[in-house]
Structure 1
Amino acid sequence: MATTSWTRRVATLVRRALSPGRATPGRDGTAALPAQTIAGRAPADFTGTVRTSYAPHRDGVADPGEIVWTWVPFEEDPSRGKDRPVLVIGRDSTWLLALMLSSKEHTATTPGEQHPGQRWIDIGTGAWDSRRRPSEVRLDRVLRIDPRRVRREGAVLDRAQFDLIARSRPGSRSW
C-alpha cells in the first residue's frame, strides 16, 4: 500500500498528539500537565508594574494589543489549565504579559463564582472566537506566558478597547 501525503500528515499529527509531556485533554476541555512541565509552562502570575503601549504587528510575534491562544493555568490548581485566548499587554524579560479572556459571563451575582472580587470588562465579539461569542477580559490577573507556547490564532484588539482596558486595570496610572 503506497503512503500518500495525507496519511503521512495524519501520522505526524498522531505522533505529536501522543508525544510525552503533551497536555492531555480532560472531560471538561481542560488539560493536565505532567509535573516536570509545570514550571516551564505555568510560571507565577506577574505582580509588578506593567508598562506597555499599543503595538500590534502582524509579524508572527505576539505584541501588545494582540489576542492569541495559549495554555493558561487555573489559579486554584496550576498543574491544570485550559487553552484559551489572552490579550498581550507587555513583556517581563522573556515572558509575555497577558490578560485572559472568557466567553463566560462574570458579574457580582454570577452563581458559583469561585473568586469574589475578580474584575472583568466586556470586549464584545471578535475573530479570536470561532463561534463569535461575546468575551470578557479579566483585569486583576496578569499572566506570564512563554512565547513559544503561543498560537497565532487570534486577532488585533482595536485601540479604543485596548486603552479602555488599560485605564480600567487596578493601578492603571502606571500604564
Structure 2
Amino acid sequence: MSSTKRILSTLADILTGMLSKGASKWPDHPKRPNAVLRPDGRSGTPPRADHGESRETDPGRMAGFETVQVDPERIHDVAVRYAPSRNSRPDSGEVIWTWVPYEENDGRGKDRPVLVIGRHAADRVYAVRMTSKPHDGDRDYLSIGSGAWDSQGRESWVDIEQLYSVHDEGMRREAAVLDQQRYGSIAQALITRYGWARG
C-alpha cells in the first residue's frame, strides 16, 4: 500500500472512530440569535421596532388611526380655542402622548407629548409637537415651562412649525391640562403666524 493510501486509510479510521463516539466531540457551529425565515426565504434576524414599540401596540401607528404630519401653512380650518375635558378624548389645551413620525417621513417615529390646539374632524385633532430639548432664542419654539407631562420635571418647548393630525384612537394617554394662560400665548403665536381663527 502506498504512503498516500495509508494516510487516507488512517484518517478514515480516525474520522469513523470520532463519529462513533457521538457528535458531542465536534465543536458547535455558532448560530445567529433569534434567526427567522424572512418573506424572501432567507434567514435573518427580526427587524427591531422603533423604541421597543410594535405597530400593533402603538395606537398612533395603527391603520386608520395614524398620527400624520401636516403643513400648517396649508391648513385654514383651525378654530383655536381652549376646551380641555378629561373624557378619554384629546381636547384643546391638553397635553397628550401619541406616536409621532420623524420629519424624514420614512416610517420611523417615537412616542412623545403633543399639545392639542383644536379639533378638525369628529375623530381628529390638530396638535403641535413638544420637546424637552432646549431651544432658547429659536423663533419657532415657545417655552411653556414644566408640567405633569414630563416625569422628570424638565422645561418644555412647543414647536409651532410641527403640526400633526391625531386620531382620537391614536392617543396613548392624556398627560396633563395646560393652564389657560400658557395655552393662550401659544394660541396667539399660531394665530399670528398662520392666520387661524380663535374659536
TM-score, normalised via structure 2 length: 0.62
The 2-side partners of 1:139 and 1:98 are apart by: 9
Residue 97 to residue 78, structure 1, CA distance change in 2 (3 Å) = farther
Task: Report SS of the residue matched to 1:140.
Answer: strand
Task: Give the residue type in structure 2 aligned to 1:83.
Answer: D
Aligned to 2:81, the other structure's residue is in SS state coil
Equivalent residue runs for 1:15-34 within 5 Å: 24-26=49-51
- Deviation for aligned residue 1:40: 4.8
Match of 1:101 in 2: 130
Q: 1:63 maps to what in 2?
A: 91
Which of 147, 155, 167 lines up with 2:176 in the alignment? 155
Q: What is the letter of the counterpart of residue 125 of structure 1?
A: S
Equivalent residues of 1:91, 1:97 under 8 A apart: yes
Distance 1:40 1:66, change over 3 A: closer
Aligned residue-pair number: 141
Alignment of 1:78-157 (within 5 A): 78-93=106-121, 94-107=123-136, 119-157=140-178
Query: Are 2:65 and 2:169, in contact at CA under 8 Å, matched by a contact in 1?
Result: no
Query: How many percent identity over aligned positions?
Result: 36
Helix, strand or coil: the match of 1:133? coil
Change (3 A) 1:81 1:39: farther
Answer whether contact 1:42 1:78 (CA < 8 A) is retained.
no
Cα deviation 1:25-78 (Å, max 9, x = unaligned) = 34xx7x6869x9577514341531221210111122211000010000111134
1:6 equivalent in structure 2: none
Distance in 1 between the 2:180 and 2:196 partners? 18
Counterpart AA for 1:174 = A
5+ unaligned residues in a row in structure 1: which ranges? 1-22, 110-117
Say if 1:32 and 1:81, in contact at 8 Å, map to a contact too: no
CA-to-partner distance for each residue in 1:69-93, whole Å, 9 max, x for gaps? 0000111134111100010111222
Q: What is aligned with 1:165?
A: 186
Q: TM-score, normalised by structure 1?
A: 0.70
Q: CA RMSD in A?
A: 2.7
Long gaps (5+) in structure 2? 1-47
- State how far apart, in whole Å, the 2-side matches of 1:74 and 1:39 are: 19
Query: Which structure has the larger Rg?
Result: 2
Partner in structure 1 of residue 41 of structure 2 = none
Tell me the amino acid that sits aligned with residue 72 of structure 1: V
Taking the aligned partners of 1:107 and 1:78, their CA distance within structure 2 comes to 29
